[in-house]
Chain A
């Protein structure tokens, strides 16, 4: 089955800096890669996703890149703000709307 590895497990940045979180996956059949943000005690919320026919996708301060050959994808957050502090999870599946395999999460702390 699919295995998703995520790093770093914790990341601390100063407000205004950029943050990068990286994930690798094992199943070459995976072609949908969402990222979720989870604040303490709350539900995971989809912040951005990418499909395998696209190499990069941006949404304001957030971008995701995908390298299918190397089987890795990354989340980039620019101009970080304290409200970006949360746990971020990457995930992979064979199609959107199907079973997801999640990474272990990255605790991002943005220091004011």
Chain B
């Protein structure tokens, strides 16, 4: 596609509910990143894939967070047993190896 596509655009979850956020990167982009952006702050790194391999997951805040990219294209970020502090915008970005990122529009998660 022409850009990075994320869905849903907005998600409201009850505390304790599991959620799944989807990212469709630009076709051919081997690198895919997930970031978490709290209100009024800069994006913070969560995890990184190169093709289907998850090369860095050091930014995932707890074992409730899990990401996958099984076929090296679409990626899903899953959050189990959501808590209020998980409320944020989750940004996906993709890139070719030597270029800058293109970000998606993000998923705004609100946990109530």
Binding site for B on A (CB under 8 A): 6, 34, 36, 42-46, 49, 89, 91, 95-105
**A102 and B106 within 8 A (CB):** no
Which residue of chain A has the shortest Cβ distance to B30 in the bound complex? A97
**A49 and B100 within 8 A (CB):** yes
Binding site for A on B (CB under 8 A): 31, 33, 40-45, 48, 56, 91, 95-106
The answer to whether A99 and B41 touch (CB under 8 A), given A43-B91, A43-B106, A46-B100, is no
**B33 and A102 within 8 A (CB):** no
CA distance A70 to B101 in the complex (A): 26
Partner of A100 from the list B40, B45, B105 (CB cut-off 8 Å) is B45
**A105 and B41 within 8 A (CB):** yes
Minimum-distance CB pairs A-B, first 9: A102-B42, A43-B103, A97-B95, A43-B105, A46-B100, A97-B97, A44-B103, A89-B42, A102-B43
